[in-house]
Structure 1
Amino acid sequence: MTRIAIISPRFEVSFWGQEYALAIVGKRAITPVAALPLLAALTPQEYVVTLIDENVESINYDALADMDIIGVTGMSVQRFRMKHILCELKKRGCFTVVGGAWVTVQEDYFEDLADVIFVGEAEESWPAFLHDWQAGRWKRRYEQSTRSDMTRVPTPRFDLLKMQDYFYAGIQISRGCPFLCEFCDIIVTFGRLPRLKTSAQVLAELDSLRVQRVKQVFIVDDNLIGNKAAIKVVLRDIVKYQEEYAYPFRFFTEATLDLAEDDELMGLMTDANIEGLFIGIETPNEDSLRETKKHHNVRPAAGSLLDRVHIIQRAGIEVTCGMIVGFDHDDATIFRAQQEFLSEAYIPHAMIGLLYATPKTPLYDRLNKEGRLDPSDITEFGTNVIPQNLSRRQLLDGYISTMQSVYDVNAYFYRLEALYLRGYLGQGQLGGVKYLKRHPWLRVKYEVMNAAVAVVLMYRLIKSVKEKDLRREYCQRLWRALKVETLPSFVSGYIVNCIIHYHYYKLVQGLSSGQFISTM
């Protein structure tokens, strides 16, 4: 019987990873990589599949030496670790295959370390390879001739993962985005035509997660609302499912800012219990938005960036965002502008990064023609882009200064308190909250559970934070929150935001010392 192991390498410390926060809340990773359980589901039953997420367990290379096929999948930020793992496997004479976002855009990156590479989606190419493997005539490179039909994607094998180790489970409803952002590799990998699963598929995945008592789910779509008419159908069915099973799930997802222009869609998202949303805002500099072809963020008739963020927040959905510095239209004023925008937008959680040109993207092609790319894979400046109106040192120093300012404890809690204590977040509009109000005994049970969670989390936070001034700050901030609201569910959520700040605090410390720059 053929034995297959599929590995997702560990991530470096990052905004998304929440590594320092996870240690406090008792989890090992933020969410499983979607490729692992999906590839397992695409594998015929006659194979024995082992999934290894290095973010939750270490790799036993001696045990892997007995595998027939070892797959490694990963994104750009995992490429260094992917190469290290492949080198170790090569020493042991293992047969290795590589797929994922990075090898899709940089096919020659791993050279002869991989026996087979997979470019793009793998719903058809992975089973085709396994068929060829059995016949003893596999190819060096596999790439599908057409995009995957999402209505035929099987339910991922969540049962092969240690789901209790993750903060979120992950599901994917759609692939593809209709927009043309110059720096983005999503349209390279998935195309511009959004493709969706059926409601039946999505609900089957929720059934699978409910069996494992998962409560929090990250809908990992790069743009959930790429096809608004189609996603509304799915969301209506998710709302019915949530009602039928007493709202077992809390959701977080990703979408574009034009959500603010569709009241019906925002209502369906809150009814489905989508609590938070990641939006690629990128920059308050409208010239830079036009430069990078993010025209859907520059729509004066729909309101300013701030206006639309506040519309989504008032609808009851917390906005997390991505911000970028280093566009051609950015000069030394951009760093202060980013800080002011986040303060005025009341966005506590912002993933701020340096502009990076990923191979095969329009940005990469343009900068390559202009001779403005650093060919080094590891750079002291954290990006391969040579900026136009800033020196590379100015860009890096400005970025670090921005991170320090945005995640200064007073700046962070100013934004957080605006949402939760000063009423800028439209609370009470989520479907789960409304359901509990209609079922008072369930609400009592829910609040009792959250009271216990709040006590445990606060104890862990105080025990984990060694900095005396920071511990005192968290206690004072929680006391201020308690003067506004004492519901245990609110208190536990507020403590989680304190814990997340500690992650940012540690992340900024690492950036300031240069610890994470080369891995960005």
Structure 2
Amino acid sequence: MADIVIINPRFDISFWGLEHCMPLFGKRANLPVSCLALLAALVPDHHQVTLIDENVEEIDFDRLGRADLVCLTGMSIQGTRLLEILDEVKSRGVMVVVGGPMATVEPEILDGAADVIFLGEADETWPRFLREWEQGTHQDRYEQTEKTDMASLPLPRVDLLKADRYMFGSLQISRGCPFTCEFCDIIVTFGRRPRLKSSAQVLAELESFERAGLTVVFVVDDNLIGNKKAIKEVLRDIIAWQQERAYPLTLFTEASLDLAEDDELMELMGLANFQSVFIGIETPNEESLKETKKLQNVRPNAGSLLERVHRIQARGLDVWCGMIVGFDNDDESIFQVMPRFLADARISAALIGLLHAIPTTPLYDRLKQAGRLNDDEAAERYGTNVVPLGMSPEALRDGFIQVMQDCYDPDAYFGRLDGQFIDDDFKFVLHHLPYWKSHPVAWLKRSFFNYVKFGAVASRLLSVVKDDALRARYKQQLSRVVRQRWREPHILFIYTIKVAMHYHYAALAHAMAQVDDGSGAMPDAGRSFSRAKRPVEERAVA
């Protein structure tokens, strides 16, 4: 029996990480990367497996020194820390292997740093390596040639996670996306043909999260609705599972904007208790959308961007979105257009980033050929490796920082939030279902605990915030939602979470504006935020 340790390095503070408000919820991190539990499940039973997520616990390097094998997985934004861990573990004479998104798109950085490197999906190569390692015949590089049959995957070892330290669970139903967005490496890694798990697999995973006490689950698919016909069947089975148990789990995910064009799909997602959906809108500039081949967002017959966002919201799904500045068709006017678009869309949570060219993507290849990639020094200075076409690098960097200031100014943020939750009287599907009339006890229990959670989070928030003006604003917002929607405890709780999220966003936006050395370089917070991990990047590759 071998002692195997699988590690996920810590992330820098980012939009999606919600690090500044995690203590308000009594948690250390938002969610575990989904590959941790899956990699553990792929290890043969005769080995001992330990999972370490540095985002919720410190690494004991002395303990790693006693392991037979240490495996690391991580994204490019975790790269600096991943390399530090590799060096420390290798210095103790322990064999180290590494895979994941960073190893897949930037393997040259890891040459010599690890004993074995995995490229791409590793659901077949990871178990193969372990067999060969036992026999002393392993290779130093593995690349899976065929895409994984999702129906063949085992139940992830959620039981090995320190579940009580996370706010959400992470579940993957499908891999792959049918679209061809130029800046995205999803189709390079997972392909354009979406592959799904069976309903039985998905329901077994939902049960494992329920047992672990993780009652909110993020479905980390790059695009849940890539295969609409197939996902509808899975959603129907999730609905039945949820209703048999009085809806124990809340779900959220990422999907493409063409969700707005399928009423049945939106209804099924609502009935399955998907409450929020992250959508890559990217930009209100149609020419930029065409440039980057985000053609699913440019469909005149389907309505404008705003009309489609409002259509999804009207079906009881809260929309989060990703936005990007720095496309070739962007000029400095984008820095005024984007805040106005978000205000009109009534989207409170928008991950805004600088365009970044990921190795292996068509964007990277095009810009490299054109000589428009910054070197490392310039990328640090401007926060991106892309040399913009429609403005100077300084104008792009400064405009990005200004957009963040504008969008997360309290008046702007709460204007968007109140536009949806108070002025528009937004309701989640789950909380106006006829289902509850036949389950009144379950409804009363749910309502009671939502009132309790609302009170607990609101109290913690007002006690933690030290800035008098900000605390007064939060108190004002909470008072307003209580006056307007006190009969709807779930709305009170979700609204309070969104107020707490502003505390995180405001801290990030403030840090981004701090340039202490007078060099004009992008602050550390800005570099972290501009390349912040999107939920789609929580990928189940080794």
Range of TM-score over shorter length: over 0.9
- Check the 8 A contact 1:271/1:431 in 2, yes or no: no
Matches within 5 A, 1:29-40: 29-40=29-40
1:271 aligns with 271
| CA distance 1:434–1:118, change in 2 (3 Å) | farther
Distance in 1, matches of 2:70 and 2:158, equals: 19
- Check the 8 A contact 1:5/1:67 in 2, yes or no: yes
Distance in 1, matches of 2:227 and 2:432, equals: 25
Kindly provide the amino acid, as one letter, of the partner of residue 412 in structure 2.
A
1:395 aligns with 396
Distance in 1, matches of 2:100 and 2:432, equals: 35
Kindly provide the amino acid, as one letter, of the partner of residue 189 in structure 2.
T
- Check the 8 A contact 1:275/1:317 in 2, yes or no: yes
Kindly provide the amino acid, as one letter, of the partner of residue 472 in structure 2.
R
Kindly provide the amino acid, as one letter, of the partner of residue 350 in structure 2.
A
Distance in 1, matches of 2:273 and 2:310, equals: 19
1:448 aligns with 448
Matches within 5 A, 1:112-191: 112-191=112-191
Distance in 2, matches of 1:46 and 1:9, equals: 26
Distance in 1, matches of 2:76 and 2:98, equals: 13
CA offset at residue 271 of structure 1?
0.4
Distance in 2, matches of 1:208 and 1:250, equals: 14
Distance in 2, matches of 1:326 and 1:40, equals: 40
Aligned length, in residue pairs: 519
- Check the 8 A contact 1:34/1:171 in 2, yes or no: yes
Kindly provide the amino acid, as one letter, of the partner of residue 405 in structure 2.
Q
1:29-67 deviations in Å (ceiling 9; x for gaps): 111011110000000001100000000001011110011
Structure 2 residue 524 is the aligned partner of structure 1 residue 515: yes
1:404-437 deviations in Å (ceiling 9; x for gaps): 0000001001110111101263x15227855334
Distance in 2, matches of 1:49 and 1:508, equals: 40
Distance in 1, matches of 2:9 and 2:123, equals: 21
Structure 2 residue 3 is the aligned partner of structure 1 residue 3: yes
| CA distance 1:413–1:90, change in 2 (3 Å) | same
TM-score normalised by L of structure 1: 0.98
- Check the 8 A contact 2:323/2:351 in 1, yes or no: yes
Matches within 5 A, 1:30-429: 30-376=30-376, 379-423=380-424, 425=426, 427-429=427-429
When structure 1 is superposed on structure 2, of 482-491 and 174-183 the one drifting more is 482-491
1:209-267 deviations in Å (ceiling 9; x for gaps): 12222210000001000000000000000000001111111001000000000000000
- Check the 8 A contact 1:270/1:431 in 2, yes or no: no
State the identity %: 51
CA offset at residue 463 of structure 1?
1.4
- Check the 8 A contact 1:247/1:432 in 2, yes or no: no
Distance in 1, matches of 2:275 and 2:450, equals: 17
1:485 aligns with 485
- Check the 8 A contact 1:168/1:218 in 2, yes or no: yes
Runs of at least 5 residues in structure 1 that lack an aligned partner in the other structure: none
CA offset at residue 518 of structure 1?
3.8
Distance in 1, matches of 2:41 and 2:429, equals: 36
- Check the 8 A contact 2:167/2:214 in 1, yes or no: no
CA RMSD of aligned residues (A): 1.2
Distance in 2, matches of 1:199 and 1:491, equals: 33
CA offset at residue 128 of structure 1?
0.5
CA offset at residue 506 of structure 1?
0.5
Distance in 2, matches of 1:363 and 1:489, equals: 42
| CA distance 1:437–1:467, change in 2 (3 Å) | farther
CA offset at residue 497 of structure 1?
1.0
- Check the 8 A contact 1:314/1:424 in 2, yes or no: no
CA offset at residue 489 of structure 1?
2.5
Distance in 1, matches of 2:268 and 2:289, equals: 29
Q: Per the alignment, in what secondary structure is the counterpart of residue 376 of structure 2? A: coil
Distance in 2, matches of 1:237 and 1:98, equals: 36
Q: Per the alignment, in what secondary structure is the counterpart of residue 156 of structure 1? A: coil
| CA distance 1:431–1:488, change in 2 (3 Å) | closer
| CA distance 1:410–1:518, change in 2 (3 Å) | closer
| CA distance 1:171–1:460, change in 2 (3 Å) | same
1:476 aligns with 476
1:365-412 deviations in Å (ceiling 9; x for gaps): 000000000131761211100000111111010000000000000100
Structure possessing the higher relative contact order (Cα contacts under 8 Å, 6 or more residues apart): 2
Distance in 2, matches of 1:504 and 1:266, equals: 29
